[in-house]
Amino acid sequence: MPIIKHIHFMDGILEKTIVATQFFNFPAGVSLALDSGKTLSNVTIAYETYGTLSAKKDNAILICHALSGDAHAAFYSSAEDKKPGWWDTMIGPGKPFDTEKYFIICSNVIGGCKGSTGPSSVNPETGRPYGPSFPFITIGDMVRAQAHLIDHLGIGRLFAVAGGSMGGMQAMEWARSYPKRVRLCLPVATALYQSTQNIALHEIGRKSIMSDPNYRGGNFYDGEHPKAGLSIARMVGHISYLSDDAMTKKFGRRLQNMERYAFDLTDEFEVESYLDYQGESFIKRFDANSYIYITRAIDYFDIGYEAASLDKAFPKSDARFLVISFSSDWLYPPYQSEEIVTACKANHRPVTYVNITTNAGHDAFLIRNQTQEAVVRDFLDNEYRSIAEDRSHHFISSQNDIPRFDHRLIFDEIPSHSRVLDLGCGDGFLMHMLAKEKGCLTQGVEIDHANFLSCVSKRVDVIKHDFNDIFNGYPDNSFDYVLFNLTIQMTINASEALDAAVRVGRTVIVSFPNFAYIGNTVAFLSQGRMPKSKWLPFEWYDSPNIRMVTLKDFAVMCEEKGYNVRARYFYDETDIVWLLPNIFAPYCMFVFEKGR
């Protein structure tokens, strides 16, 4: 049971919730098998929990920490504690990881130095710290140790596993190693494998520690620790956690307590003394050997290698994924999160992805961010609600709940339990209805931020992205239907997009405003001006409709590309238009397949 004390301060304003770290010792005789082939005995795992485990034990969320983190993810450790846990911005009552709903668990990784067994722990066989005799570990080992803890807590399936950076690696490793024990997987600011550049940055840190004379082959616990080396390792790390732009905004070229250059070797620039401070404070709280062991574990991480192929990374997983990256993160850049999304596509995993625009760099996941908070909150809460709800309600047969005529056309066209990809899914209403009323497996793509958030709030899995390269990674026929509902005319690479759509989907549905519609052309013919109408309501110089097309143009293109047109609809806001549709229908919809 978590030990929680609420401390009310005398002035009555501040309330600190104190949470004690707990310790789980592996039962006697149980040791941890490591990827290196060695085993680790007498394992202790330090962990904290927040919130209450439900009777069904279906509300447990495991939070995984990054390189220098620990089990203390939220709240305070003592009344004197000035700073709360490392992800207190995200965990707590009413916060995205809501401790009033969920039972949150966070444990220190093995190899660490914050209570779990690591190189600074005493080796029971020798009575002295392990030091360099501690076995090398992997992310897989960390996760296997956590599984012992989860078993101990009596939890079968985790509602969610979440973490940033190395924590995100652990979350994905959970989905790979324990595919049926993870309902939601939230890898944040992370990657499927450690990149070459990041190995190189870690190598500098390790070399710096190891070339410190106080390192003494790792057996330094009885004397001075290799502080200078660890401090430089941390400085390198710290630069990689920020961004060029953030550092410029925070420090610029400002000098430290002087008007003009001192022309000496003191810390002249503010950023220099800031970095020194980061290094100095880190050596007080972290073990140099743990730094070496944990960076090695991160460098070893390569889920595609472990799974024999990225296409097999999560083949048996039934998790839904939420992937978050940050635009200015150059340690785990957005392209690496896009690779996670691609792995989800290859493994038929529904995925929600957002690359959050920020200058805060890699550390962005640790600080308050509205989008991260909203997306994580909604992603968790919708799933939680969907478990609670009775999911066996009857499908509707009428369409009274679908106000838009084009949505009704598509809703009717798509059979129950179809797999549907919607390019430009707007606020997600149609996908939501298809999932809810027809049991469809839906995946949306949407670039507008408000629409994206609206999709997430409707439990529509959605990738925030334009259509460039969006089909990459999807195996052929990944979907029964691919939709471009009023979006093809906004697509720069319209031709490539359609060709990719017929590969990825068995059937493609495309709708667009018919430029030849008389409501558009009347102005053109009478005044010689580009149409500006109810259906094309923009000026020539600011229209998002950069690809104007007529019904006939589209029909001819289908013929030229050899698409097999199964159905065509010509319609206005309320009904089908039967008479001379190229003139009298403001909208067209084509349903087609790849030709022979």
Residue 539 as a binder of a second copy (CB under 8 A): the answer is yes
Residue 562: both structure tokens together: 């050899």
Q: How many CA atoms within 13 Å lie on the side-chain side of 143?
A: 28
Residue 303 as a binder of a second copy (CB under 8 A): the answer is no
Contacts with a second copy in 177-196 (CB under 8 A)? 193-196
Among 494, 558, 577, 588, binds a second copy (CB under 8 A): 494
Contacts with a second copy in 428-457 (CB under 8 A)? none
Nearer to a second copy, 420 or 549 (CB): 549
Residue 562 as a binder of a second copy (CB under 8 A): the answer is no
Q: Nearest approach, Cβ of 492 to a second copy (angstroms)? A: 8
Contacts with a second copy in 499-538 (CB under 8 A)? 515-516, 524-525, 527-530
Burial of 270 (0-12, 13-18, 19+ CB in 10 A): middle
Euclidean distance between CA atoms 381 and 306, whole angstroms: 32
The answer to whether the CB of 41 falls within 8 A of the CB of 133 is no
Euclidean distance between CA atoms 520 and 530, whole angstroms: 8
Residue 204 as a binder of a second copy (CB under 8 A): the answer is yes
The answer to whether the CB of 22 falls within 8 A of the CB of 70 is no
Q: Nearest approach, Cβ of 170 to a second copy (angstroms)? A: 18
Query: Which of the stretches 40-48, 403-411, 503-511, 552-560 binds a second copy when contact is defined by CB under 8 A?
Result: 552-560
Over the window 247 to 286, marking each residue x when it contacts a second copy by CB under 8 A and - when it does not, the resulting string is xx-xxxx-------x-xxx-xxx-xx--xx--x-------
Contacts with a second copy in 318-337 (CB under 8 A)? 330, 333
- For the annotated catalytic residues, the residue numbers are 165, 329, 362
Q: Residue 19: which of 79, 103, 107 has the closest Cα?
A: 79
Q: What does the DSSP 8-state code read for residue 362?
A: G
Among 170, 177, 208, 442, binds a second copy (CB under 8 A): 208
Among 53, 292, 402, 482, binds a second copy (CB under 8 A): 292
Provide the greatest CA pair distance for the chain. 96
The answer to whether the CB of 22 falls within 8 A of the CB of 47 is yes
Helix (H, G, I), strand (E, B) or coil at 565: strand
Residue 339 as a binder of a second copy (CB under 8 A): the answer is no
Cα angle 45, 47, 53; round to 5: 125
Among 44, 132, 280, 339, binds a second copy (CB under 8 A): 132
Number of neighbouring beta carbons within 10 Å of residue 477: 13
Residue 395 as a binder of a second copy (CB under 8 A): the answer is no
The site for a second copy, by CB under 8 A, has a size of 87
Among 78, 266, 472, 495, binds a second copy (CB under 8 A): 495
Burial of 266 (0-12, 13-18, 19+ CB in 10 A): exposed
Nearer to a second copy, 388 or 579 (CB): 579
Q: Nearest approach, Cβ of 175 to a second copy (angstroms)? A: 21
CB environment 531-550: b (16+ within 10 A), e (fewer): bebebbeeeeeeeebeebbb
Residue 237: both structure tokens together: 């790390």
Q: Nearest approach, Cβ of 511 to a second copy (angstroms)? A: 15
Nearer to a second copy, 50 or 300 (CB): 300
Ramachandran assignment for 588, one of left (phi > 0), alpha (psi -120 to 50 degrees), beta (any other): beta
Among 125, 244, 318, 476, binds a second copy (CB under 8 A): 244
The answer to whether the CB of 276 falls within 8 A of the CB of 283 is no
Residue 200 as a binder of a second copy (CB under 8 A): the answer is yes
Residue 18 as a binder of a second copy (CB under 8 A): the answer is no
Q: Nearest approach, Cβ of 113 to a second copy (angstroms)? A: 18
Query: Which of the stretches 5-13, 48-56, 81-89, 230-238 binds a second copy when contact is defined by CB under 8 A?
Result: 230-238
Residue 239 as a binder of a second copy (CB under 8 A): the answer is yes
For 25, the enclosing helix (H) or strand (E) is: strand 22-25
Q: Phi and psi for 330 in degrees, rounded to 5?
A: -105, 0
Residue 197 as a binder of a second copy (CB under 8 A): the answer is yes
Residue 550 as a binder of a second copy (CB under 8 A): the answer is yes
Nearer to a second copy, 216 or 296 (CB): 296
Among 48, 98, 173, 299, binds a second copy (CB under 8 A): 299
The answer to whether the CB of 503 falls within 8 A of the CB of 563 is no
Nearer to a second copy, 20 or 557 (CB): 557
Nearer to a second copy, 382 or 493 (CB): 493
Q: Which amino acid would we find at residue 554?
A: F
Q: How many CA atoms within 13 Å lie on the side-chain side of 184?
A: 29
